């Protein structure tokens, strides 16, 4: 795969980059990604051609900057973003070819716990953003069950029913779940979340620590990030132990993992289709 010539020209014009070599990178389902070798060092470039692509990458850049401002966990430097013809791009610091420190997983757990201690008066965010290519509304709410239903579960569940991916019986099950959310979730302060924390969205930073990429930030229940880490295999046990030591979790938090995974499962239903429908149904049955 070759980097589009129009992007090469735009990066030279906007950032003075003389690109000497490009390397296509794997791992993303939504954007294309390249490592750029230039006369002034290496850079990471991601781009897409979605109609909403500029807004996707702009809010991603804002999320990276808000995470960086906490000084809780490393994030790559954002060099800029923009649109060239129908290409929307984000230019970041290059973190390829880094080596992990010996204390990588415990350090990662403590860093995430520290991030989650950054709070706000309400659940949500002052602007909407995206999870993958899907619009993510962050309208502020006073309590987590209301936010989780109104801003996360209900919009995607309704859209999945309308698209024929879920049934009317599933819709009824979601409505019944909505009535029980306040009984299932304990009261918790809003925590600044990465919002899409799976193994593909962390990298090794130049100092050997874990750093975050591809955020879908908002202030939510901190169990959401932890549940997302477990959706596709989980992180090291040392990660969870260090997190819990730094910022203790409720003893029954693991009983809510599947419920917290319901939102990313709905996202996957919309992105990848019927393969994830049964997993959604199983969660609804579990919390019936």
**Which of 29, 170, 175, 196 does the annotation list as catalytic?**
196
Q: Which two tokens stand for residue 145?
A: 């069950």
For every residue of the chain, DSSP letters joined together read: -PPPHHHHHHHHHHH---EEEEEEE---SSSEEEEEEETTEEEEEEEE--TTHHHHHHHHHHHHHHHHHHTSS--PPEEEEEEETTEEEEEEE--TT----TTHHHHHHHHHHHHHT---SSBB-SS-EEETTEEE----BSSHHHHIIIIIIHHHHHHHHHTTSS-HHHHHHHHHHHHHHHHHSPP---EEE-S--SGGGEEE-TTSSEEE-S---EEE-THHHHHHHTTTT---HHHHHHHHHHSPPPTTGGGGHHHHTHHHHHHHHHHH-GGGHHHHHHHHHHT-
- Please say if 103 is a catalytic residue: no
**Catalytic residue annotation:** 196
């Amino acid at each position: 795969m070759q980097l589009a010539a129009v992007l090469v020209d735009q990066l030279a014009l906007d950032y003075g980059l003389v690109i000497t070599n490009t390397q296509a990178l794997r791992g993303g389902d939504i954007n294309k990604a390249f490592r750029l070798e230039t006369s002034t060092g290496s850079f990471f470039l991601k781009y897409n051609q979605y109609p909403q692509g500029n807004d996707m990458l702009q809010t991603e850049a804002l999320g990276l900057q808000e995470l960086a401002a906490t000084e809780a966990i490393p994030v790559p430097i954002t060099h800029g973003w923009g649109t060239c013809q129908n290409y929307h791009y984000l230019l970041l610091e290059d973190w390829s070819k880094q080596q992990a420190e010996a204390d990588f997983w415990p350090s990662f757990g403590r860093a995430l716990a520290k991030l989650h201690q950054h709070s706000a008066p309400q659940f949500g965010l002052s602007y909407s953003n995206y999870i993958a290519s899907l619009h993510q509304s962050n309208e502020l709410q006073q309590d987590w069950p209301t936010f989780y239903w109104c801003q996360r579960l209900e919009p995607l569940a309704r859209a999945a029913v309308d698209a024929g991916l879920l049934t009317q019986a599933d819709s009824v099950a979601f409505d019944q779940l909505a009535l029980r959310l306040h009984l299932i979730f304990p009261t918790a302060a809003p925590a600044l979340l990465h919002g899409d924390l799976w193994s593909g969205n962390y990298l090794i930073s130049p100092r050997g620590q874990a750093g975050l990429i591809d955020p879908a930030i908002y202030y939510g229940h901190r169990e959401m990030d932890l549940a997302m880490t477990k959706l596709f295999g989980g992180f090291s046990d040392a990660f969870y132990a260090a997190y819990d030591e730094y910022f203790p979790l409720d003893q029954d938090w693991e009983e809510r993992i599947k419920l917290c995974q319901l939102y990313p499962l709905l996202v996957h239903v919309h992105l990848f289709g019927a393969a994830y429908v049964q997993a959604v149904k199983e969660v609804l049955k579990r919390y019936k």
